[in-house]
Structure 1
Amino acid sequence: MPPESSRILFLSVSAGAGHGRAAEALRVVAEKRHGAQTRHWDVMDHVPSTFKKLYTEYYLRLVDKFPAIWAQIYRITDQTPPDATMARLRRAIERLNARSLRLAIEEFAPHAIVCTHFLPAELLQRERRRGRLATPTFVQVTDFDLHSLWVVPELDGYFAASDEVAYRMRARGLPADRVHVTGIPIMPVFSQPHLRAECAREYRLNPDLPTLLLMGGGAGVGALDEAAEKLLHIERDFQLVALAGKNAAMLDRLSQLAGRYPGKLIPQGYTNRIERLMGAADLAISKPGGLTTSECLAMGLPMIVFSPIPGQEERNCDYLLEHGAALKAVDAVALEYRVRKLLENRAALTRMRDRAKTLGKPAAAVAVMEQVVAGL
């Protein structure tokens, strides 16, 4: 089939931003590199509002307010056999809310479907078993760990973030010839060169000073402005870029704080060019989400990680620590201590950067789409 006539559907779930970002990266590559007609749907737009509220809003509230409970749920669901009563009940509830999605797929008639969340993969597996879907279907794991919910048999391909995740896929019974180590898909801009001096000039930064990129506060470190103020107590020359995103109130507090530290704290609102800020930075301070972690690794940007969500983000954190690409801060005091040490020991920071670069897979989206389109 000519590439320009192929239709490819990407399905994500808005339980956190990472699944959608991975799907969007794949969609961009499919269009620009392979000339495909594409659609990217959030599955939650095709289910009743009550189910959406349960699946997304309650999930986000749970991991934010009750992380210990989420940790237990993550562990229990990972250990629950697929044929257990609760697992079958969960899948039955999901199927009851999938009719709109099935009809939309029939209307678009894709030649391939790529899922960046396990929910649509499970739903489509059942449709295939019942003979109502013959479209080649793939699933992309978006963390450096493999939870059992991602192990959906009988699909056409499985994309893993690392060798270990692929090994775990095979150990759980997925066919070895369908498991591919690609990395986690990120936007193509992260594979392009980003000269430090040019990136720094775009944000009026001094390229000769150490630059820290603070990308979020958490329960352990505190609010973004509190974490920034803690770091600004360090008596060394550096620049701290604090990324408030779309939080206008936080940006205002950071701007007030910056008035007390002129030239040292640079508040930044939402940007769609985060790769340029990363290109100007020496160290990222962030939660270890799968996509943020992959973006930092692709840029060779070492991290200090904090407040990981129990389960998947904790495993991402472990991956970074094991490979020497990050340090972990359990609270604000640890954050200040670790930043101090790295500013005093630039050689250690350089070693972390080198290790991050070896782990990075900036062309992950390209590798995934090469596998997907191979059979079209």
Structure 2
Amino acid sequence: MIKVLILHTSVGHGIKITAQNIYARLVKSGRFEARIEDFQELERGMFAMVLEKIYFFFTETFPFIWGWVYSERVATFTIPLRPLISSFKYKRTLKLIEKFEPDIIISTETSPTGIVSYLKTRGLYSGKLVVAFSDYHLHRFWLYDEVDLYLCNIGEQAIELKKLGVAPERLAVTGMIVSEKYLQKVSREDAAKKFALDSRKKAVLVSGGRRGLQASVQIVMDLLASPVPFQIAVVTGKNEELKKQLEELKPTPEHDLKILGYVTDQEVLMSAVDVLISKPGGPTIAEAVAKGLPIVVTDAHPGHETLNMKYLERHNIAFHGRNPAEVAKLVEMILRGEVKYDKAEAFEKIIKPKGSVSLTDALSRFNMNL
């Protein structure tokens, strides 16, 4: 049986979810012995903690600076520093590799990719290294000469990698790897009943747990002011302050309001609604596409979120609301059928692109060449 070690970080929600979805697919196949580890916890130390705090500080407080750091221009100067950074934090990862002895390591974030690449150059790991993306663009900082296979979410990533000189045999287009529960049919009636919604009325889902406090509150206020009748369900995640503020808002005769807090079965909730409002995170968008939901993306931070948003908007996979008022207007237009959304086309673009292969088949064929 092929042994696979999956490494992720918890810095980005999508990075962790992608790793978990890969793990679930491999275990279910019965063809792989898989293990999943949080690289941040594995290499927890002062250096890693400082980098994590810097990341969250800039993305949340000064996102425009993060956008500049994320740019390709800055990457030209930071890429040569990666081996030096990796040399400070590889020992626990190496111990895990020596104990588990994986044939393949799959990384969903650039930090563990850098560590494993460093170990390969030093002859401390002789297996294969696979990189799985969780966004809808490509960044040179994610790429290493030591990577044996890139799992691409979209065909455009593979095309760009080829232009950068990556050999075709090092590429596999799999589409975004979503949890299989989002691909299963759930009746609207059953889903609505679970969340105390009326299955006969239109419903809008606001995913607000990671959005700024005031942005989420204003979006809900603008939805409540809409002349179009619909229900509003808001998922606030673990953001208790946001949940408390939203609970102070009152429903209107045209709009029932449900503040749901943290939800563990969002695939069911998505089956009860007609529109999703969300940040442009890779897995969240793919989950909504798998459910056939029109999506309004908003509050995209500079950097990877903005690049994701541009791709989604360009291919009519999502609509971009630049402010809460625009978000509410787009929701109205979607519910009235005034804008076009082709759910089959969106599904083909990011869940099952033309010529794509399954995750397990990509890894199995790849492993046969060991």
TM-score normalised according to structure 1 size: 0.89
After alignment, is 28-37 or 259-268 more displaced? 259-268
Partner of 2:193: 201
Aligned: 1:341 with 2:333: yes
* Conservation of the 8 A alpha-carbon contact between 2:83 and 2:118: no
The 3-state SS of whatever aligns with 2:214 is: coil
- Identical amino acids, percent of aligned pairs: 26
For structure 1, the 5+ residue unaligned runs are none
Aligned: 1:160 with 2:156: no
After alignment, is 281-290 or 360-369 more displaced? 360-369
Distance 1:275 1:36, change over 3 A: same
Distance 1:354 1:373, change over 3 A: closer
Aligned: 1:357 with 2:340: no
**Shift of the alpha carbon at 1:34?**
2.1
Aligned: 1:57 with 2:48: no
Residue-pair matches, total: 366
Distance 1:208 1:268, change over 3 A: same
Aligned equivalents of 1:366, 1:256: Cα separation in 2: 48
* Conservation of the 8 A alpha-carbon contact between 2:229 and 2:254: no
The 3-state SS of whatever aligns with 1:330 is: coil
Aligned equivalents of 1:261, 1:61: Cα separation in 2: 41
Aligned: 1:329 with 2:325: no
* Conservation of the 8 A alpha-carbon contact between 1:185 and 1:365: no
Partner of 1:247: 239
Aligned equivalents of 1:332, 1:317: Cα separation in 2: 16
* Conservation of the 8 A alpha-carbon contact between 1:186 and 1:365: no
**Shift of the alpha carbon at 1:48?**
4.3
The equivalent position to 1:34 in structure 2, one of 23, 30, 37, is 30
Aligned equivalents of 2:42, 2:210: Cα separation in 1: 32
Query: Which residues of 2 match residues 37-186 of structure 1 at below 5 A?
Result: 37-76=33-72, 79-80=75-76, 86-186=78-178
Partner of 1:371: 362
- One-letter code of the match for 1:183? G
The 3-state SS of whatever aligns with 1:139 is: strand
Distance 1:359 1:365, change over 3 A: closer
Partner of 1:188: 180
Q: 1:22-49 deviations in whole A, cap 9, x for unaligned?
A: 1111111111212533221111112242
For structure 2, the 5+ residue unaligned runs are none
- One-letter code of the match for 1:301? L
* Conservation of the 8 A alpha-carbon contact between 1:241 and 1:266: yes
- One-letter code of the match for 2:98? E
**Shift of the alpha carbon at 1:245?**
1.0
Distance 1:366 1:176, change over 3 A: closer
- One-letter code of the match for 2:363? V
* Conservation of the 8 A alpha-carbon contact between 1:220 and 1:330: no
Aligned equivalents of 1:304, 1:124: Cα separation in 2: 37
**Shift of the alpha carbon at 1:259?**
5.5
Aligned equivalents of 1:352, 1:282: Cα separation in 2: 14
Aligned equivalents of 1:219, 1:120: Cα separation in 2: 27
The 3-state SS of whatever aligns with 2:329 is: helix
* Conservation of the 8 A alpha-carbon contact between 1:286 and 1:305: yes
**Shift of the alpha carbon at 1:218?**
7.5
- One-letter code of the match for 1:371? A
**Shift of the alpha carbon at 1:262?**
8.9
Aligned equivalents of 1:90, 1:25: Cα separation in 2: 27
**Shift of the alpha carbon at 1:56?**
2.0
Q: 1:174-221 deviations in whole A, cap 9, x for unaligned?
A: 111121111222211112123323222221212221111100278789
Aligned equivalents of 2:14, 2:36: Cα separation in 1: 14
Q: 1:132-157 deviations in whole A, cap 9, x for unaligned?
A: 11112100011111000112123221
**Shift of the alpha carbon at 1:63?**
1.0
Aligned: 1:16 with 2:12: yes
Aligned equivalents of 2:145, 2:82: Cα separation in 1: 17
Distance 1:365 1:168, change over 3 A: closer
- One-letter code of the match for 1:55? L
Aligned equivalents of 1:286, 1:175: Cα separation in 2: 36
- One-letter code of the match for 2:65? I
- One-letter code of the match for 2:63? P
- One-letter code of the match for 1:50? M
Aligned equivalents of 1:256, 1:194: Cα separation in 2: 32
* Conservation of the 8 A alpha-carbon contact between 1:258 and 1:266: no
Distance 1:32 1:229, change over 3 A: same
* Conservation of the 8 A alpha-carbon contact between 2:191 and 2:272: yes
Aligned: 1:269 with 2:247: no
Aligned equivalents of 1:266, 1:282: Cα separation in 2: 15
Distance 1:365 1:116, change over 3 A: farther
The root-mean-square deviation of aligned C-alpha atoms, in Å, is: 2.5
Distance 1:42 1:333, change over 3 A: same
- One-letter code of the match for 2:241? A
